[in-house]
Chains A and B, each alone.
Chain A
């Protein structure tokens, strides 16, 4: 970076620290420890420099290690570790809906320059994660679902691109996760989880604790507050009652 003004270097470093910090906080929510999270951020940064070519010809296809392979692997891992089948289906449904929603936005509502659409005041860069986050929260109802929906949903756009280019016979590039750690895929994953967290926390705060009625007891066991505690106490009372008889 020699030769860059100090201001530029500071700007870049401050931005990177905050971005990587946020990414790390998000990974922290995905069945990973602090260290594993940190190691993954490092792996994604290093992996950003590695592109694996898949197909050449008119449609150049490649997958980036840091922006493609690692996040996809992580999404599949989170899916695999999901507590209930319902969680898996919800996350996959959220991914499909995210892909459809973003594709609809891009190709039907804003088929031209993004700025030629009257309602659009945000750069597409920001609505990918917003859509993924909102959809994931509505359909998936969890941070992990938000992550899966964002990663797989945005990845699906590349699959759609590939088939569109193939169908039209036009030269093109499908570089899955090619932006490395700055790819929209990871950006969407990070923002979607933070958004789900923000919405979730706000909602739980408003209703005075997470909803507990009708939830599996195994999930409630780790909750020590509000309604969850009441239900667990009731369970314990019943159990004790049963033993006494």
Chain B
């Protein structure tokens, strides 16, 4: 069998195997249609066992509840700005220790951009152009609210889309451009963030000032999220920042700004900030945030009102409703620079460790580093001198593969390094 045929056969058998796997998990509708009806949205319902974590402080006081498993090292900035760190987890109870009090006050942030509402900018004419766009999407596109939607999960058409729409509407009414993405990322499993990553990237290509992934929580107690804010019955909103990515510091600062202004304008709206294990695709942007609007046992109307109030604060926080003085940009936050340091430190430590390991000793590592800086960069930036062709014009019968080898492989690297 030729190599090409073998390759085709191999690829085909891999695809066949995958098809069998996927059908064995999902069931073939043609063969057992009745069974399939029951299986629609099976993945989505499985997780609604109502499992949630209660987080207590040293005195046994409940400080938070959420429908995720909490890990040691996760942090919570409570509504009152007390910061806790989870010390140990026993079953569905996490014990956190108070580690300080955050100063989250809008007065500290509002100097630049200019005072909110001073001059309303026209849509699309804001200085800083792209910043006048906010992108909204939903990783868990099935999430719904039981009292209003009848169930906690509607695969592909969750009530959460309507909450996102209300947010988008409110933002547009303030002259902000909104890209509300309605793509479904079902099934609701661990892979949902891989699917929604594509949506997030396509939204980021339009250059939004912020990227918001709208969710709802799964804590059974509706009162945990219910609140009356600005004379309206709303659900509170929790901000979630992923700890496992280089943008964590920048995104946490963004979350703090949001909380600071929300605390000032709509006290009680914020449930707090949760810094959890995970990335939530926030590695893609230093202005990405995940929000939980209420929980599945809340009425969707309340969630929509809460989302509208939240949308009301965003333009000011991003500095897109006010025209800043020419040349003024929002200042870099400490978190932004911390992010830069983290990325550089990780690269230097990781790269250095690898260099020493692969070279075998400190001296050899240094020599190799020198090789990288001297040979590879000149190779990269300068024009490489071509060897004069030894081939006579008539000698064109050299096999094609050999030719490729000669011209394309890197001379400075031994072939074994390329295996």
Contacts and interface: CB of A to CB of B under 8 A. Distances in A.
Interface in A151-208: 152, 156-157, 159-173, 175, 177-180, 182-184, 197-198, 201-202, 205
A152 B343 CA distance: 29
The secondary structure that dominates the A interface is helix
B22 A160 contact: yes
Contacts of A162: 22
A28 B26 CA distance: 40
A4 B191 contact: no
B191 A106 contact: yes
- Bin chain B's interface residue count: 35 or more
A142 B40 CA distance: 41
Contacts of B51: 116
A244 interface: no
Interface in A112-127: 112-118, 120-126
A111 B47 contact: yes
Interface in A71-113: 76, 79-80, 85, 88-89, 92, 95-96, 99-100, 103, 105-107, 110-113
Contacts of A157: 191, 194
Interface in B361-419: 376, 379-380, 407-410, 414-419
A111 to B, nearest CB: 5
Contacts, number: 300
Contact of B416 (A10, A112, A202, A210): A210
B3 interface: yes
A193 B259 CA distance: 41
Contact of A5 (B42, B129, B246, B330): B330
Interface in B14-32: 14-15, 17-19, 21-23, 25-29
Nearest to B198: A178
Interface string B272-305: 0000111111011011000000000000000000
A170 to B, nearest CB: 4
A170 B193 contact: no
A187 to B, nearest CB: 9
B198 A179 contact: yes
Given A34-B410, A116-B69, A125-B279, 11 more contacts: A14-B340, A36-B408, A58-B156, A64-B198, A115-B71, A117-B69, A123-B245, A126-B279, A161-B195, A167-B36, A173-B195
Interface of B: 3-4, 6-7, 10-11, 13-15, 17-19, 21-23, 25-29, 36, 39-43, 46-47, 51, 67-69, 71, 127-131, 155-157, 183-191, 193-195, 197-202, 205, 207, 209, 242, 244-247, 250, 276-281, 283-284, 286-287, 329-333, 335-337, 339-340, 343-344, 347, 354, 357-358, 360, 376, 379-380, 407-410, 414-419
27 contacts: A3-B330, A8-B332, A11-B340, A14-B340, A48-B201, A51-B202, A85-B3, A88-B10, A105-B190, A106-B190, A113-B67, A116-B51, A122-B244, A123-B279, A123-B280, A144-B419, A160-B25, A161-B191, A164-B22, A164-B25, A166-B26, A169-B40, A172-B156, A173-B195, A222-B414, A222-B416, A223-B416
Q: Which 9 A-B pairs have the closest CB atoms?
A: A3-B128, A7-B332, A178-B198, A7-B336, A171-B156, A112-B47, A167-B26, A163-B22, A5-B332
Interface of A: 1-8, 10-12, 14-15, 18, 28-29, 31-34, 36, 38, 48-49, 51, 58, 60, 64, 67, 76, 79-80, 85, 88-89, 92, 95-96, 99-100, 103, 105-107, 110-118, 120-126, 128, 142-144, 152, 156-157, 159-173, 175, 177-180, 182-184, 197-198, 201-202, 205, 210, 222-224
